[in-house]
Amino acid sequence: MSLINSDAVIGVIGAGTMGAGIAQVAAKAGHTVLLYDAFKGAAQRGLEGVEKGLLKLVQRGKMQQDDVDTLLSRITLTDSLEGFAPARVVIEVIVERLDIKQSVFSQLEEICADDTILATNTSSISVTAIGSKLKRPQNLVGMHFFNPAPIMKLVEVIRGLDTDPAVAEAIYDLSSRWGKSPVRAKSTPGFIVNRVARPFYAEGLRVLQEGGADAASIDGIIREAGGFRMGPFELMDLIGHDVNFAVTSSVFAAFFNDQRFLPSLIQQELVSAGHLGRKSGKGFYDYSEHAEKPAVSTAAPAPAPHHVAIEGHLGVAESLVPLIEAAGIKVSRVQEGHGSILIGNTTLQLTNGLMTTERASQANNSNLIQFDLALDYTKATRIALAPADQTDPASLLQAIGLFQAVGKNVTVIDDVAGMVVMRTVAMLANESFDAVNQQVCSASDVDVAMKGGLNYPFGPIEWAKSVGLSSILNVLDNLSASYGEDRYRTSPLLRRNVAGGNL
């Protein structure tokens, strides 16, 4: 398959927000674009939406009017599929129904040249299944953009079982020339992003279900400690629970009810009640006019300790030590130990995936408190603490005072295995390793996909490596032991990396 030239005609079927955005991207790259929508007037509305968005850029001084006029002149509306005859590539952006997509592509095969590339923007339907009814399935490829297409860099290039590798590479190269960050993936349920992202929602929902913390506090911990732009409940409300629940359910079913993708009863109840999030005015949060968003649970001020002892190396949390010293707290160090911060008879440790109560019992240490993972302990503005059931209230106050002294808001959560950020990051990494292990994509592509598609602060695999793969494996093994569920089984590739010395 030859390279798609810069003057190639690009067809876009579907002129909604995504389709119109893709048309804008192609036109900006210099292509003549043919835009079609089966609904009367929709293509014109789509084009007007593009113009409106571009004019805002002109008003902000980010684009010249002449450039807007040139871009818009490259987009031509067509009133039938027959108008796509000259197209070198046709991108379908229509309803997520297999039969309709198959019908449209079958018609295009009769209209377009034999070597025209047919691309589907599907987010959930198998590219292989779409191509199964085509005469030339080798010409069909997935080209999955993320919304809004003109801004989001990621494009998942998905190979169906019959896709010609040269076709996939041509679309990969085209995406790169359009200024995108393409990644390669096989046609498997959820592709990369919609598969790997499931634990971000699922673990937050599980912590909520178990009473670990309320939705606002979980969101706050994920944002302010984990470095994510939004917490899981904010994001689900934004996406819409009908959409998010449907994606989770479809991935669960497509993987033959693999427990790792088990949908949440909490979210099912929201969908049943019509509480779909922002679009309905209510989800985990109330979006009515005068409603106030619940505050993140924050501990009251507590006195700072005068002295702490550090036993062993704190691993990823070692950057806390200079913060403690800078706060004027005397620090003494003991080289031996399991990575602990000692305040008198109070022991603080980074969560290892066990419930604090269980870990305290194993260590015969009644005053144990675990703290959660942070993306960067020097920049995080919040930290979560989970005391054991046996822990003295005075010990908890000492721990709160320590973290407040180094500039952190403190949220005390109930004792749930793996806490909040740690279990979320560990499960995202685990799913990423499993996708790589099952030949869906490369390790580098999964990190690019999750940063480019969902604005994650780190790719899950690179994040796991920064924490330490052996630590992530230990967390997952402890989650599995605590829950006794197949949901927390570890990826063979992660275990293999640790066994091979990639710690």
pLDDT of residue 335: 83
Name the token pair of 355. 């419930």
Query: Is residue 471 situated within a structural domain?
Result: no
Query: Is residue 98 situated within a structural domain?
Result: yes
pLDDT in tens, 369-380: 999 999 999 999
35 and 179 assigned to the same domain = yes
pLDDT in tens, 113-143: 999 999 999 988 999 999 999 999 999 999 9
Beta bridge partners of 117: 89
- The domain of 169 spans 10-187
Q: Name the domain count of the chain.
A: 3
Tell me the pTM. 0.94
Average pLDDT, the chain: 96
Q: Which residues are catalytic?
A: 123, 144, 156, 194
CB atoms within 10 A of CB 342: 18
Average pLDDT of 487-503? 94
398 and 251 assigned to the same domain = no
Least confident residue range of 31-40, 46-55, 334-343, 344-353: 334-343
Which CATH number belongs to the domain containing residue 201 in this structure?
Answer: 1.10.1040.50
Max distance between CA atoms of the chain, in angstroms, equals 79
CB atoms within 10 A of CB 348: 25
* Confidence label for 2 from pLDDT (cuts 50, 70 and 90): low
Q: Which of 133, 165, 187 is the last residue of a domain?
A: 187
Residue 414 and residue 395 in contact, taking contact as beta carbons nearer than 8 Å: no
Which residues have a Cβ under 8 Å from the Cβ of 111 and sit 6 or more positions away? 81, 82, 84, 85
CA atoms within 13 A on the CB side of 13: 26
Separation of alpha carbons 469 and 443, rounded Å: 14
Q: Which of 396, 412, 428 is the last residue of a domain?
A: 412
109 and 27 assigned to the same domain = yes
Q: HEC states along 5-28?
A: CCCCCEEEECCCHHHHHHHHHHHH
Token pair 């870990």: residue: 359
402 and 335 assigned to the same domain = yes
Separation of alpha carbons 83 and 138, rounded Å: 23
121 and 250 assigned to the same domain = no
Phi, then psi, of 186 in degrees rounded to 5: -85, 160
Q: Which of 187, 203, 225 is the last residue of a domain?
A: 187
Q: HEC states along 149-214?
A: CCCCCEEEEEECCCCCHHHHHHHHHHHHHCCCEEEEEECCCCCCHHHHCHHHHHHHHHHHHCCCCC
CA atoms within 13 A on the CB side of 464: 30
Separation of alpha carbons 146 and 250, rounded Å: 19
CA atoms within 13 A on the CB side of 82: 2
pLDDT in tens, 281-319: 999 999 998 999 999 999 999 999 999 999 999 999 999
